Each structure stands twice: as structure tokens, then as C-alpha cells.
Structure 1
Amino acid sequence: MDHASHNKIVSFIWSIADDCLRDVFVRGKYRDVILPMFVLRRIDCLLEDTKDAVLAEVKFQKDEAGMAVLDPDGLRDASGQVFYNTSQFTLKKLLGNPSQLEANFNQYLDAFSPNVAEIIEKFDLRNQIRKMAVADALHGVIEKFVAPTINLSHHDVEGPDGRKLPGLTNLGMGYVFEELIRKFNEENNEEAGEHFTPREVIQLMVHLLIEPVKDQLPPVITIYDPACGSGGMLTEAQDYIKLPDGPIQSTAATYLYGKEVNPETYAICKSDMLIKGNDPENIKFGSTLATDEFSSLRFDFMLSNPPYGKSWKTDQGQILEKKGSKTEIIDPRFEVQLPDASGEIQTVSAAPAVDDGQLLFLMEMVSKMKRLQDAPLGSRIATVHNGSALFTGNAGGGASNIRQYLIENDLLEAIIQLPNNIFYNTGITTYIWVLSNHKPEARRGKVQLIDASQLYEKLRKNLGEKNCAFTPAHIAQITRAYLDLADTGKEAVDGLKAQVFDNRDFGYWKITIERPLRKSAQFTAERIASLRFDKRLAEEMQWIYQQWGEQVYEPGFLSAKEQKDALDDWLEKEEIDRKAADKKKLLDPKFWTAKRELLQAAEQLHQHLGDELSHDFNQFQKDVKAALKALKLKLGAPQFKAILEAVSWRDPEAVPVLANEKKGEADGYEPDSELRDTENVPLNYDGGIDAYFQSEVLPHVEDAWIDESKTVIGYEISFNKYFYVHQPLRDLDEVVQEIRDLEAETEGLLEQILSFSN
């Protein structure tokens, strides 16, 4: 189908909304009618030629075969399609009885095969029919869709003016469909990336996916998209392989599989599969992350544009399970086997932060890769992500674990940076990831990064946020750079940059640097006075004590209504929100008495030990313990700790505090959490962690050490790091001269304006 015919159909269908629905639906709801009616008319056209044969088959099964339930196989054979309709009506025939239009229309819908019936349900078409019927718009809409001036059938027809109206091929149907979706998305200001990926981006993905193995394709090919939307990626991949005038023209049987969570988009995709002769049962409805619909299947090719920056909180219950204080992965798709810093293999989480689930879709595809013992070519994946998939998440976290798993298992072949504003309604930077579990020899142990962000053609008119596009030449250039494993360094060649890295170049050890806690201590009246109040409730206790003094220790005083109301009023005035349990403590004389007893114990210690300042907290603790023994004071560990904290403070000049002191022996120093720091050490650093620590850390902090128990491995990929080229600042004299030139030019203009006004 040529573009002129394609544009004519889009314009005609677009006009139906304005002509018939203007006063019935708000503009943002036009799509709720137009898209399902367009699909229905196309299905209706495909069934028109065999309508008599289907009715004859119905009559045969009922009258001659005496079947109480119709045989769907016979009906499909009669219709020549994988769907059928057993009613006497077509859309054209419905117009013959306007008074019974709504009832006849519903009867017509009831007679469809189950696969079409599900599409009608997901489109919520019956509800739209009711609204149109009430507003007396139903007849007009049907009349427009069956008008002789537009041809939605698959064969050529003659128009009212005698001119040929070319048939709408299945591929043409897909183009019209997606163009309508795009226009409606723009009208509604939706995130078009959620529904529609630009055609040229899909074409590039398909080239990267299939070109490397186009001469080795198996006789049966399966293609999968876990976030299939309207099915554009699936059908584009199929067309690339199968079209008679395409680049491959394979005779392989292709089978498309997908899953979609949005009911309307699912209906669009499933109807597209029906119309194009694919098996619609391979398109499933629901959340890909919540249920593994294709758990028993593996696929040759997988491609997707999953939602990014979108929470997967609603699916958490099917992925994660709380077991005591720990959260465990319960879906094997989202856990991986990885070596820890010591080399021991561990089962770890492959679940990224809950506010962005895009990498979960990638792991879903990885779990569906064919094993090499079953398929020599393995599987290939092309998927689109935003920049966060490259580097977000801490080392040891789900996102980093995913990157580590992909790279260390040598699955990642290449990442291609796309131009900004190439997607509709979003200007963010996006990237195509290419994965394979059967890399060619030249790619093993390597990852290619391609920067194609400056390779585009400007559009004459923006399509939402989309202001640029790839041309076929750009697609060919990027594909060639990928196939050739090009490495241009940081300099662009014909607008494109490419570099090849070893897998380990993206990995690092995250090490935790500790420094010793250093504390000084001294008993003073001011310091121990704070022990009268609980640290967490200090503000409230100080106010209460200022109000009522020693009365707070009297049984029943604080629990009186007057005191309770006064406390509530003060908390409300100060905008302090406290739970009932905290309020109960504040009004409990036993709670106050326990704090007073702690204060009194500290006062006795103060009197025994005096005001001597100590810069050795280790000795100070021993002196306090000895004093407690001499005074025959018994304190629990929490009370002992509270007193020490009240009379001590961090001091960089003090003696380091020993850790784990038992029987006079100590195991190293107590780390200071405020001085704790982390360093990322590249996996390919010469000499490893020890060499890095000796050269990069100890010269600056000589008392530091590494807490090896906290060392974790992380992976990140930074395009800015690898492709950034420093631009030197302009010469200062040059900038000053330019400013002076501008000032002189401004003064001249001002004189001209003033002389003109005079």
C-alpha cells in the first residue's frame, strides 16, 4: 500500500470522530470508539466474501448434523480465517433496520468467535455502542465506516467515481492502526513510549537482532515481546523475515508471542494478530511481572520497549515474600547466581528499586533464552531502556546484580545510544541493548558501545516531542558499525562513535573504608544533667519538668486530667505528633523515676571520679567500671552505655577506642560511623584492592582499614565517561574583546534610535 492511500484512510477515519462524535464524547474519548470500530470493520471486510459459506455451514451443522453446539473448526474452514461470525448481519446490513440497530448490533457481536469476542470485551465496545445509540450517533458512525469512498477490505474495489481503491494489506492495516494510535496519544498528551515506539527505532532493533544470523535462521522461528503494546515490534520483526520484497525473504514459519497489561492496547494487538493471520492465542493479557505466562517456552528472538520509570509495586506480592526480617525472591526469573567478592557463588536478588521495573522485563526475556544444547544459535534480544538502567542502584543491589549477571555471563553484546527526542512525547535519552547467549568469537568477553546520539534527520514538523528520526541510511550505518565491531575511539566518524571494552571494564569492588572512633570523656554536672530525660523524648520531658518539677515523680499526678490536657494542648501547639505509647510513657511516674535513678547513679560516679578530663576512652571505661564496683552500684548494659554517652564526645586527637574488649583483650578498633566512607575500585585495577588501598587511601588517612565483610561487586555503564571529550575554555582575552565589540555595537544602535526619534 502506498503512502497516499495510507494517509487518505487515516484522514478519513480521523474525520469520523469530528463528524459523528463531537457532541457525544469528549475529545479525549474519541479513540474509545474509533479504534474498536476500525478493527471491527476490518474483520467485517475479511469475512464478507465468505459470509454465505459460513451461514451454510451453520445451517448444515444445525439441520443436517443435528449439532447442539457448533463446531468451530468447520466454521473457521468456511470463513477462511482463524475467526468467524455466525449471524446473518454484516455492518452494512445493520443499516437496513435503523429502529432495531442497537439490538441487531449486539446480536451481531454475540455471534463472533471467542477470540474476537475477547477483543470486543477488552475494547468495552458494547458500552460505547450504548452511548452512541442514546445520542443517536450509532447509525452515522457505522455508515461512515462502510462508506464506498473508503476501502478497508483486502482486495481492490471500484469507488463511486469509477477510480480504483487499492486494497488494504495486512501490513498497510498495521501502518494505519499505529498512525491512529499515535495521533490519539498526541491528542490525549499520553506517554507515547507506553504504547508506540517509532517505526524507524523498531526497524533498527530488528536489523541488530536478525542481521548477524540472517543466513542461519532455523526453519521455525519464535519471536516474543513481554510488553508488546499494540504489537508493532512483533509484526515488524516478522515482516523483516517474511516479506517477499524484504531483505531476507525467508521461508521459515514464524510464530509471534506477547503479553500486554493494558486492556485496550491488548485488544489492539490481538486484533492485529487476527487480521494479519497470526495466532491471537499467543497474545496474553495481564502483568508479565506478576505471572509467567510462557514459563515452558523459549524463544529465538525477543524485543521490547518496556515501561521505564514505572513502579512495579502492584506486582511485588508475586515477586517478593517477607520472611521474618528478610525479603526473599519467590519468582526464579528474578534471582541470579553470582560470585561474591571472595569468589563464592551466591543466589542474589535481581529485583531493582520498586519505582522502576524496566530491568525486570529484561530478566524475563533472559529467562526465556534457548539453551545452546537445544538450539545452536541460542537466542537474541534487543530492548530499549532509558539511562537509569545503565548505572542506577548500589553495588550488590538488584539493578547492579542484573548488570553483573549479564556481563559476567557474556550475554551483553552492545548498547546503542539513540538521539534525544526520537520518541513521541518524551525527550529523554534512550538506549538499545543487544544481548545474545551465542556470541561470535570476536565479541566474546567484550561489549561494544555505540553513540548514535548525533546521527539523525530533523523533522520539518514536530510529532509531539519527537523532532528527529533515523533515515534508512542511518539505520544501515549503525547496523554496519555493529556488525563490524567498529571502534572509533572518542572521535566521531560520519557522526557516529563506537568503542569496544572488555567485560571487566564495567565492574568494580565497592569497599568500605573505616577509621577508628576517638573519644574523650569527663564527668561534669552539665553533661550528666541530660540523663534526667530520655534522649528520644527529651523536648517533651524538659517541658513537663519545667511545668511541674519534682511532682512528676508522685504517683497519679501526671495521669490527672489537668496534666494530660495540658500536655495534649502543648503538643498540638508545637505541632509534635506522638503515638499513644509515647504519651503513656511521658505520663508514667515509673518512667520518670527510672531516669532519675540513672541520673543519681551518674552523680555518685561523678563524685567518686571527679572532673578529670580523659583523652583515653578505653581507660575511662575501666575507671567507671571500677567505680561502680567500689560504690556497689548495679547498672544494666543500656544504663551503663547511656552514662558513657552522656559524658563523652568525639575528639580527633584522642586515643582510638578499642573494639570487642573482653578479658582485657581487644580485636582492633571501634569504627567511627561518621568517618565511614566507600570507594569504588575498578575490577581491572592493577594489583587489585590492596594496591588501590595502599596508593589511594593510606597516604591520606593513615589510620584507615578496609572492612572486608562489606566488600561487594558492582557494575555500571557510563556513556559520558567513555565518550566525553573535554572542550577547553575560550581564551579570556577573546571573550573580553567580544564583549567590547557587542558594547560598541549596542552604543551605535542606541545613537541611531535616539537620532531617529528626534
Structure 2
Amino acid sequence: MSNGDLNWITNFIWGIADDVLRDIYVRGKYRDVILPMTVIRRLDAVLEPTKQSVLDLKKQLDEAGITNQDAALRQASGQAFYNTSPFLLRDLKARPKAQQLKADLEAYLDGFSPNVQDILDKFKFRNQIPTLVEADILGYLIEKFLDNSINLSPNPIYDPAGNVRLPPLDNHAIGTIFEELIRRFNEENNEEAGEHFTPRDVVRLMADLVILPIADKIESATYLLYDGACGTGGMLTIADERLKQIAQEHGKDVSIHLFGQEVNPETYAITKADLLIKGEGDEAEYFFLGSTLSQDAFASREFDFMLSNPPYGKSWKADMERMGGKADILDLRFVIEHAGDPDFKLITRSSDGQMMFLVNMLSKMKHQTPLGSRIAEVHNGSSLFTGDAGQGESNIRRWIIENDWLEAIIALPLNMFYNTGIATYIWVLTNRKPDHRKGKVQLIDATSWFKPLRKNLGKKNCELSAEDIQRIVDLFLSFQESEQSKIFANESFGFSKVTVERPLRLQVELSDAARARFRKACVEAKDEALSSLMDHVAESLGPGPHLDFNAFMAATEQRAKKQGIKITAKRQKLIQTALAEKDEDAAPIIKKVYRPGKTEPNPLYGRFEVKVNGRSQIVEYEADSELRDVEQVPLLEEGGIEAFFLREVLPHVPDAWIDETSAKIGYEISFTRYFYKPTPLRTLEEIRADILSLEKETEGLLDEIIGGEVS
């Protein structure tokens, strides 16, 4: 059947909505009727030749008391589905009474096999029947789908002379028509389209990125394709076609099985219906409804190829709560052992779960096969940099890159998707990197390679032409540096985040005014004894200021001991906050004194050698939280953290040190930094010419204004 014929049939079905449903349904709801009716009519036409055989067998099985009839009835129908009602769809159009038609249609629908029932339930088509009956358009709708000017059957229709009047519609052709209807309805509902519909040009690029690098290694074998957010199944079906095409070009005969999971009931129904009407009913058994994150349907499966466009910027809080809450998630996909940490968490913020879908796919890689697994997944820009070192998003990037699974990230043009104009990226991953890619990541800027659309489809105003796709794939396969291609060592994206501390420096004044303020604080703290103690300390030490808080506290403790008062941590805190004040000229406060010989001095990490009571001792200072700073040290920094600290920190703050317990490794990827193109400054001649041009444009304007006022 020619493309023209297919387009004609598609347009005919598309026109049924306007002919029958106008004024009864709003345009956004046409799909609720047209899609399930297209499925029903196709299944009806496919089952017609074997209808009597199914009915005869059904009668025999019932009389024999056999309850498990599904396999036998499938065999009788010659399909992966069947219908045991006494009706065909054409039997219903002659019903004169609406209520009889309603009852017979419901009986007809009830006769379908369980796999079709699942589709009808998720479409919620039975919910539409009362509306169609009430509007008295149900019979008209059925007649339209049985119109003798179109053939939705896999068998030809002949004229009275025995000539073919309408050619047969094979599984591929009806699949093409169905997918085109889905595309058109998605475009009509732009606000929803991007949630479950990825443009075909993007899917073709993703399929080529995962398949072409190993095209010459494909064998005559069975391959498994998976999508954990499969939507209407478009990614899988296009990848399926592409893999078969490439295998055929290399003289290989491959068997491919598709696996998918989808959380939206209607799109799940569309996927299964698409497979059924394409004659791939067995494949439909590998698709499941439910959340991939909290209800993984393929926990024990591994796959050769995985493609996905997960929801981004969408909360997965409900899944998180079903899994026990962020702190108590024990799912081995998301809590792993890595870098010596047995509880390395790959759990993102609840507000955006897109990277969790990537982790899910990585958990399903094949590790025991020569080709391993190849993955392509679409993300927005936040997956590149969101999350601080040690947080879920950064941990995921670290886990991926340190395992050397990331091959490339491709930046796509803006406005590529139907419901968003934001920047999007394709991540390409594998656990079988070729030798020349090991230890490296390729970044490709394809933002300027696109073809404008003549008419916007929602927010989508451009597409990838075949030439654009080929250019991106060629650049990916060549693995060469260019203006649009940058290659980096894995470590280029990593950094150590360290906390830089500075000592707390306090001075104490014991003037009358200062003690009066302190006395008020002691009253509020119900500790008049401490206030009295400080009056005695003032008598012995004088008003100050006292710039050595350590010596001041030693004197205070001696006096307190004479008066039978104990300086508790609470009392010391009150002295620090209500009496002492910060002073950069004061001595650092000593937090800890090490026993002689127990540790070596190391000023970089806060162990200083000082004189205490005339003796050299190793001490740690109290850190001033207000002076605390954080530094990110690249993993490729020559000399590491210490060299960076000596060069970038100590020359500016000589009393600083590194909190060695604070170091955390993080990873982020900045396309803007790597592909930044500064705008060249204008020359002086250009600036001068603009000024002269402005002067000329405004020449005489001031005189005209002043002259107008004077006159």
C-alpha cells in the first residue's frame, strides 16, 4: 500500500472525529473515542475469518467444563487475542434501538480476550458509551468505521467482478496509521504531548547512537530492548526497526523482544494496542503498568539496549514514600557499594526523579556478554550539575563516570520537544567502551544543527533532518576534537569539596558597662553566681581588653575554683556570647591540646605548634563558623588539595586550615563553560561611527525643542 493510501485512510479516520463527535466532545477528548475504536475495528477485522472456529471451540470447551481456555482460543483465532461474543462489529450497526445497541456493544466488548480487556479498561472506553448513546451517535460512529470506502482488514476487498477494490492493510501499515493518529492527537494536546511522546527525529538519533557503534559486532541472536518510561512505545518500535535494518545490512538475522513499563494508564493502553494491531501480541505481554521507580516490573531482567525519555522536573515524592522515605530506601538499585562506601546513595531530590530512571537502567546492564549494554536517555540541563558533592545527583554522576560508563552527551537544539523549549541533552552510556574511548567522555554541541518547521507543533519549532542526524552520528563515531566536539578525561568533571576553617578570635572587656550587660544576660540565664564571679575576675585582671581568651579563661577557672564554682560548657558558652567579642587581633582560641608525642604538627589540617606556658605543644583551634569557607579543588589539580590550598588560600588568609573530615568528591558537567563563545568587543572605529551616527540623527533636535519653548 502506498504512502498516499495510508495518508488517505489516516485522514478518513481523523475526519470521523469532526463528522461524528463535534459538539459532543471538545477537541482534546476526541482521542478518548477514536483511538480505542480504531483498535477495536482492526481487531474485529483480523478476527473475522476465524470467528466461527473460535465460537465452536468455545462451546466445546464450556461443555467439557474446561476453565483455562485462553491458549486454546488463541490458537483457534490464529492470533494473540480473540473474541467469544456472538457478534462482529458489522452485526451491530443494524440495531434500531439505542439501548439494544448499547447492550450488544457491551456484550461484544466483554467477549474479547483478557489482553484486549486490559487495553479497553485502561482506555476507559466503556465510560464513553453512555455519552455516545445519549447523543444518539453510537450507531453512526460504528457505521463510519465500517465504511466500504476504507479497508482496515489484513485481507483485500474485491468488487463483483473479482478484482481487488481495496488492497489489504498489513500489520506494518495499520501500525503506521495508528502511530500517525497518536502523533496528531498529541499535537492537538500540546500541554500533554511531551509527557509521553518524543519526536521521531530525536528517537531516530538515539537509536543510531546506541546501535551504530556496534553494528559490525551484531550477531544472528536474540536482543532485548527496554524503556522504563515507554509512553506510547515509539522509542522501542523505532529502535526495533533500526536494529533489524542494520542487522540485515550486515547479513544477520536477529530476534528482538521489546520490554516496557509506563505509569500512565492511557499511554500504556496505546502501547499494547499498537503492538496488538501490528501483529506483535506476544510482545505486548512484556509491557507493564506501574511506576518504574517503586514498582519495578523487571527486577531480575538485563537488557542489551535501553532508550528512554523520563519525566524531568517532575516530583517522585509519592514513589519515595512508597519505598520507605529517603532515609529508609533499601532498594539495591539506588543504595549501592561504591568507593569503599557500603551505603552509597543514588537518591535524588524528591522534586525531580529523572536521574533515578537512568540509575534504574544502569542496574539492568548485561555484564557477561561481549556487547554488554548500550543506553541512550534524554535529560534536561539540571542532570549535568544539580546536587552538591555527596548528594544524590552528584553521586550518580560520580558513580557513572568513575565506572567509565559515560561515552558522550549531546546537546540538542532548543525547542525540540512539544511541551518545552528548554535545553535537552542525550546521554549515551555503555559498559563496553572501546579502547580508544576508555577513560574519556565526549561532549557534542549540536544546538545549531536543525531544520525549522513550517508550522510550530506546540513549542516544537524545529527538527533534526536526516542530514543533521548523520552529522551528529558521524561526529560521535569519529571521536575527534572539533568546534562542536570536545573530549575530556573522566577526572576533568570531578572535584573535591573541602571546608576551609579559620580560628575564632575573641577579646574580653571587663569595664563597668560590659559587666552590666553581662549581668543582665546572667539574670536571664538564672546564673547570678557567674555574674558575681566575673566581678571578682575584673578586680584581679583589670578592665582589659584582654586579647588572649585562653589566658582569660584559665584565670577565670582559677578564681572560680577558689569560690567553689564550676565552669561548665554552658557557662563558658554564656561568657563567649554575652561578654566576649570578636577581634581579629586577638589570639586564636585553643580547642584541644595534644599530649606530647601523640601527633605531629600539620598546619594545613589545623594542628599547630605553639608555646603554652613556655612549652611547645600541638593544638587545635576553635573554628569561627562565620569565617568558614568552601573550596572546590579539581581532581586533576597538580599536587592535589594541599597544592591548591598553598597557592590559592594561604597567601590571602595565613591562619586558615583544611577540615580534613569535610572532603567530599563531586562531579558536574558544564556545557556552557566548555563551549563558551565570547562575543568579540567592537573596535574603536565602530564605536566612533555609532556615536557620530547618533549625533547626526539628533542634530538640531535640542535647538528645535528650546526654540519651541521660547516661541
Aligned 8 A contact 1:519 1:615 in 2: yes
Alignment of 1:50-61 (within 5 A): 50-61=50-61
Worse overlay, 353-362 or 655-664: 655-664
Instruction: Choose from 648, 665, 676 the match for 1:696.
Output: 648
Task: Give the superposition deviation at 1:318.
Answer: 4.4
What is the alpha-carbon distance in structure 2 between the residues aligned to residue 2 and residue 699 of structure 1?
76
Task: Give the superposition deviation at 1:317.
Answer: 3.0
Percent of pairs with identical residues: 50
2:219 equivalent to 1:287:
no
Task: Give the superposition deviation at 1:113.
Answer: 0.7
- Which letter maps to 1:624? T
SS of residue matched to 1:112: coil
Task: Give the superposition deviation at 1:303.
Answer: 0.7
Matched with 1:299 is 303
Instruction: Choose from 505, 508, 521 the match for 2:508.
Output: 521
What is the alpha-carbon distance in structure 1 between the residues aligned to residue 506 and residue 246 of structure 2?
81
- Which letter maps to 2:153? S
Matched with 2:547 is 615
Aligned 8 A contact 1:297 1:368 in 2: yes
What is the alpha-carbon distance in structure 1 between the residues aligned to residue 494 and residue 620 of structure 2?
31
Instruction: Choose from 379, 401, 408 the match for 1:414.
Output: 408
- Structure 1, gaps ≥5 residues long: 492-496, 535-592, 751-758
Aligned 8 A contact 1:241 1:248 in 2: no
SS of residue matched to 1:717: coil
Task: Give the superposition deviation at 1:417.
Answer: 1.0
Aligned 8 A contact 1:157 1:164 in 2: yes
Task: Give the superposition deviation at 1:600.
Answer: 6.0
Matched with 1:122 is 122
TM-score, normalised via structure 1 length: 0.83
Matched with 1:313 is 317
**Deviation string, structure 1 residues 314-343 (Cα, Å, up to 9, x no partner):** 111344557xxxx2440000123322xxxx
Aligned 8 A contact 1:242 1:249 in 2: no
Alignment of 1:381-392 (within 5 A): 381-392=375-386
- Structure 2, gaps ≥5 residues long: 596-611, 703-711
Task: Give the superposition deviation at 1:157.
Answer: 4.1
Q: How many residues align?
A: 673
What is the alpha-carbon distance in structure 2 between the residues aligned to residue 201 and residue 159 of structure 1?
44
Task: Give the superposition deviation at 1:614.
Answer: 1.8
SS of residue matched to 1:34: helix
What is the alpha-carbon distance in structure 1 between the residues aligned to residue 410 and residue 472 of structure 2?
9
- Going from structure 1 to structure 2, the CA distance change for 1:245 and 1:672 (only over 3 Å counts) comes to closer
Task: Give the superposition deviation at 1:246.
Answer: 7.1
Worse overlay, 285-294 or 662-671: 662-671
Task: Give the superposition deviation at 1:138.
Answer: 1.9
What is the alpha-carbon distance in structure 1 between the residues aligned to residue 158 and residue 629 of structure 2?
78
Aligned 8 A contact 2:379 2:427 in 1: yes
Task: Give the superposition deviation at 1:313.
Answer: 0.7
Instruction: Choose from 675, 680, 686 the match for 1:723.
Output: 675
SS of residue matched to 1:17: helix
Worse overlay, 443-452 or 7-16: 7-16
- Going from structure 1 to structure 2, the CA distance change for 1:598 and 1:749 (only over 3 Å counts) comes to closer
- Which letter maps to 2:217? Q
Aligned 8 A contact 1:318 1:330 in 2: no
What is the alpha-carbon distance in structure 2 between the residues aligned to residue 171 and residue 526 of structure 1?
92
Worse overlay, 310-319 or 665-674: 665-674
What is the alpha-carbon distance in structure 1 between the residues aligned to residue 4 and residue 520 of structure 2?
82
Matched with 1:196 is 197
What is the alpha-carbon distance in structure 1 between the residues aligned to residue 147 and residue 532 of structure 2?
98
2:528 equivalent to 1:504:
no
Matched with 2:43 is 43
Matched with 1:351 is 347
Alignment of 1:347-496 (within 5 A): 347-372=343-368, 375-488=369-482, 491=483
- Going from structure 1 to structure 2, the CA distance change for 1:164 and 1:335 (only over 3 Å counts) comes to farther
2:225 equivalent to 1:223:
yes
Instruction: Choose from 621, 624, 638 the match for 2:556.
Output: 624
2:58 equivalent to 1:85:
no
- Which letter maps to 1:671? A
What is the alpha-carbon distance in structure 2 between the residues aligned to residue 528 and residue 107 of structure 1?
93
Matched with 1:713 is 665
2:92 equivalent to 1:94:
yes
Task: Give the superposition deviation at 1:472.
Answer: 1.2
Alignment of 1:587-666 (within 5 A): 595=524, 597-598=526-527, 601-606=530-535, 608-609=537-538, 611-634=543-566, 636-660=568-592
SS of residue matched to 1:88: coil
Task: Give the superposition deviation at 1:240.
Answer: 1.4
What is the alpha-carbon distance in structure 1 between the residues aligned to residue 263 and residue 509 of structure 2?
65
Worse overlay, 6-15 or 467-476: 6-15
Task: Give the superposition deviation at 1:608.
Answer: 4.2
**Deviation string, structure 1 residues 267-319 (Cα, Å, up to 9, x no partner):** 11111122223321100110000022111211111111111111111111344
SS of residue matched to 2:191: coil
Aligned 8 A contact 2:215 2:247 in 1: no
Q: CA RMSD for the aligned pairs?
A: 2.9
- Going from structure 1 to structure 2, the CA distance change for 1:195 and 1:157 (only over 3 Å counts) comes to farther
**Deviation string, structure 1 residues 469-488 (Cα, Å, up to 9, x no partner):** 11112112211211221221
Instruction: Choose from 67, 70, 73 the match for 1:69.
Output: 67
**Deviation string, structure 1 residues 667-687 (Cα, Å, up to 9, x no partner):** 311111111111111111112
What is the alpha-carbon distance in structure 2 between the residues aligned to residue 274 and residue 143 of structure 1?
23
What is the alpha-carbon distance in structure 2 between the residues aligned to residue 50 and residue 684 of structure 1?
70
Aligned 8 A contact 1:259 1:285 in 2: yes
Alignment of 1:568-583 (within 5 A): none
Aligned 8 A contact 2:533 2:559 in 1: no
TM-score, normalised via structure 2 length: 0.88
**Deviation string, structure 1 residues 432-489 (Cα, Å, up to 9, x no partner):** 111111111111111111111111111111111111111112112211211221221x
Matched with 1:170 is 171
What is the alpha-carbon distance in structure 1 between the residues aligned to residue 141 and residue 247 of structure 2?
37
Task: Give the superposition deviation at 1:389.
Answer: 0.9
**Deviation string, structure 1 residues 166-214 (Cα, Å, up to 9, x no partner):** 5444344444334433433343342422110010111111111111222
- Going from structure 1 to structure 2, the CA distance change for 1:670 and 1:175 (only over 3 Å counts) comes to farther
- Which letter maps to 1:719? F
- Going from structure 1 to structure 2, the CA distance change for 1:638 and 1:31 (only over 3 Å counts) comes to farther
Aligned 8 A contact 2:515 2:579 in 1: yes
